[in-house]
Amino acid sequence: MEQLRQVGEALGGVHALMAFADDLRINPRQCRLLADACALAFAAVGAEVRAHLRFHERLSKWKPLEGPLRELHRAVRDAEGYVRHCLEPRDSWWARAAAATHGADCVEQHLHSLLWSVAVVLEAVEAVSEVTGSDPDELARRRLLFAKDYDRDMLEPRLFQQRLGGRYLATRELAARMDAAWKEDRWLLSQHLEERRILASPEPLTRNEHRLADLLTAPRGKVHPASLLLQGDFHVRRRLVGNLKEVQWMGEAFAVKHFVGADADAVGAEVALLTLVAHPNVAHCRYCFHDEDRREFFLLMDQLMNKDLASHVKEVNSAKRRTPLPLVVVVDAMLQIARGMEYLHSKKIYHGDLNPSNVLVKTRNADAHLHVKVAGFGQSAVTAASPRPSPRASANANANNNANATNTCIWYAPEVLEQEAAKCSEKADVYSFAMICFELLTGKIPFEDNHLQGEHMSKNIRAGERPLFPFQAPKYLTNLTKRCWHGDPAQRPAFASICRVLRYVKRFLVMNPGADQQAQPDAPSPVPPVDYLDIEANLLRRFPAWQAGSAAPRVSDVPFQMFAYRVVEKERTRAAILHISRDKASDSSSDGNSLCGDESGSSFGAMLSDAEAMSVSLQDRSSSRKASPRKLDRKVTSRLAGKLFVHAALAHVVFHFRVRLVCTMMLYMITVVQGRRRSPSRWVW
């Protein structure tokens, strides 16, 4: 209940800021879209809570809602921060507009988190509602009603959108607004600046503001004179990783790539690549400035990040903890890296040098969660002009003073070590991603404690040597990592599949807090009921377009993907339960020494489970036909009653047969002891 109240407070903050929507000049359409999505999310969650939960049980049965509601609160709180960032420039409106104009954070980051968290909260509400109340008939009826939504026929995007789109925020209107909001904001900004260019405007532009207006409305990738950047309030604060510097420009902090004496064609190729992308998990260039006299290039990056992933893992790693970070934070970081690589691969851009030194991180708020960006994918064009250090050398100079040059091979796939031409490929990036996942999960550099060092490391990696996970590492994550570093590139999954699996793994961790207990390594932790890689393989066969990877990923598809995983998971779980129940029933029926013990009760429970499962499937099939809810309830109730009557009659016959059999054997033993050899059938029948 407290978490739900916090979500409402954060939503109230968004509404309070949107009361001044007329004063928004930076991304007004995206702010309105985000505010409407937050309101719809809270309304959907509130409606489900009112319909299926009881207020007086909030202290006893609502505890499974805490984790999912906490994630929803984080998403709404981040949305409030985004709206505040666009509405309240600290020093210069121009600097804030330059920092936020070309961004895609609204849809790709905030709406992605919101849609994912809504799906998880709705599932948690459903789980709590199945144990709400004390009437067994009401509980069974509620389970039947929930099971209707998970029919396999619902695995159709259009049908899901029609029936459940309003609940999961997957309507056509919202998807269309996601696709058009950024374009509308660009058009509104250009119209606002055109109005201010007129001399009769109440706020006419100065000479310098005219140049800044040209900068904001220019197409991405255009090279501007360096005088526009260097004049006025511009100074370097500190040097970051590589050729990155933290600078202050017009009161805002930016990250700038500085090239001195570099070849213009090489830098131009990198600028064209860095301005082609726009994603919150990919470090990209907003504007490019050039000083022809000094042969200097300044690439103004999208966001200032604190450090690289290798440095952050080294700082937070502790010998007393099983992993350097909480498991849900680790999975979230893995998901962000995978989303960034998924976006790059959709643009036919392959990294070729993915390692922790090329992954930038920034802490978010006061919690341990990170904002992760993939960087370094455009540096190959200027390697000859401005040589950069070997991968990981800058991040681990203090930790690995020996054999720095040989350690670079641990991030490369075996086919890359054999042939340099295979460096820039999708499967090679997946292998490098697996090595980053190993460092996130264990807090150690791959092969750090291994005897493979020097010239033998590359040879053994090509022979199939891989780092070893500790015993406590969760199997559902180690299996995914091992699949990603498979020796056969064809067996490695695509980043689109990795994103779907990690979203569902993160959902499992949020709904099962016991699986994220780092302080108790000896305590048994919950594990997923099914293998999520098997679910992904099943869905890829049903939706071949998911593995094509030709189009850029859409955030509006996340609710249906989460729902599809849930449908297949329930099918697999139900099939496994029925299989176990049938095995128990067969074992109890083969045991002739039991008169009326646990075996009989378990077999009858198994028969009851079979009847319930069959009744659920019958109701799911009948839901496609047009019938009133009262008629559907009567049909389901009658069929369930019939099945229960048949199984009860069978159990009654089996019970009496066992009683007669035991009585016959006892009488036969008595007659043998007394010396009377009579036929036992005389007493049996």
Q: Domain spans of the chain?
A: 2-133+171-197, 218-301, 323-378+391-503+531-547, 572-674
Is the model more confident about 331 or about 138?
Answer: 331
Say yes or no to pLDDT of 669 above 90: no
Say yes or no to pLDDT of 322 above 70: no
Is the model more confident about 526 or about 262?
Answer: 526
Lowest mean pLDDT, pick from 7-21, 127-141, 170-184: 127-141
Q: What is the per-residue pLDDT for 429?
A: 95
Say yes or no to pLDDT of 336 above 50: yes
CATH number of 2-133+171-197: 1.20.1410
Say yes or no to pLDDT of 625 above 90: no
Instruction: Please state the rounded mean pLDDT for residues 249-254.
Output: 85
Q: What is the per-residue pLDDT for 91?
A: 63
Q: What is the per-residue pLDDT for 146?
A: 75
Tell me if the domain spanning 323-378+391-503+531-547 has CATH number 1.10.510.10. Answer: yes
Most confident of 168-177, 385-394, 444-453: 168-177
Say yes or no to pLDDT of 282 above 50: yes
Tokens at residue 339, please? Answer: 């989303």
pLDDT tens digit string along 118-161? 999 999 998 888 877 767 777 777 777 777 778 888 889 999 99
Q: What is the per-residue pLDDT for 643?
A: 54
Most confident of 61-65, 146-150, 257-261, 341-345: 341-345
CB atoms within 10 A of CB 53: 18
Give, in order, the Cα–Cα distances in Å from 458 to each of 199, 277, 390, 421: 68, 33, 16, 17
Is the model more confident about 467 or about 525?
Answer: 467
Band of the pLDDT at 552, cuts 50, 70, 90?
Answer: confident
Say yes or no to pLDDT of 31 above 50: yes
Is the model more confident about 684 or about 434?
Answer: 434
Contacts from 47-54 at CB under 8 Å and sequence distance 24+? 48/122, 48/125, 48/126, 48/167, 49/4, 49/125, 52/125, 52/126, 52/128, 52/129, 52/132, 52/142, 53/125, 53/128, 53/129, 53/132, 54/132, 54/133
What is the share, in percent, of the chain residues with pLDDT greater than 90?
35
Tokens at residue 17, please? Answer: 């800021």
Q: What is the per-residue pLDDT for 560?
A: 95
Q: What is the per-residue pLDDT for 647?
A: 58
* Average pLDDT along the chain: 80
Q: What is the per-residue pLDDT for 646?
A: 56
Give, in order, the Cα–Cα distances in Å from 229 to each of 180, 226, 258, 530: 31, 5, 12, 55
Lowest mean pLDDT, pick from 453-462, 613-622, 645-654: 613-622
pLDDT tens digit string along 470-518? 878 899 999 999 999 999 999 999 999 999 999 999 999 999 887 765 5
Is the model more confident about 216 or about 132?
Answer: 216
Closest CA to 643 of 608, 603, 606: 608
Give, in order, the Cα–Cα distances in Å from 678 to each of 509, 664, 670, 683: 68, 12, 11, 10
Instruction: Please state the rounded mean pLDDT for residues 69-93.
Output: 88
Closest CA to 256 of 266, 267, 248, 268: 248
Say yes or no to pLDDT of 555 above 90: yes
Closest CA to 16 of 99, 84, 70: 84
Q: What is the per-residue pLDDT for 602?
A: 38
Can you list the alpha helix ranges (DSSP code H) found in 275-326?
Answer: 309-316
pLDDT tens digit string along 43-65? 999 999 998 888 887 888 888 89
Say yes or no to pLDDT of 399 above 60: no
Q: What is the per-residue pLDDT for 526?
A: 84
Say yes or no to pLDDT of 634 above 60: no
Q: What is the per-residue pLDDT for 273?
A: 86
Say yes or no to pLDDT of 672 above 50: yes
Instruction: Please state the rounded mean pLDDT for residues 655-665.
Output: 75
Instruction: Please state the rounded mean pLDDT for residues 309-326.
Output: 74
Please report which helix (H) or strand (E) contains residue 281, including its range.
none
Q: What is the DSSP-derived secondary structure letter of residue 203?
A: S
CATH class of 218-301: alpha beta
Instruction: Please state the rounded mean pLDDT for residues 157-183.
Output: 92
Spell out the residues 6+ positions from residue 83 whose beta carbon is closer than 8 angstroms to its own.
Answer: 14, 17, 18, 31, 34, 35
What is the share, in percent, of the chain residues with pLDDT greater than 70?
78
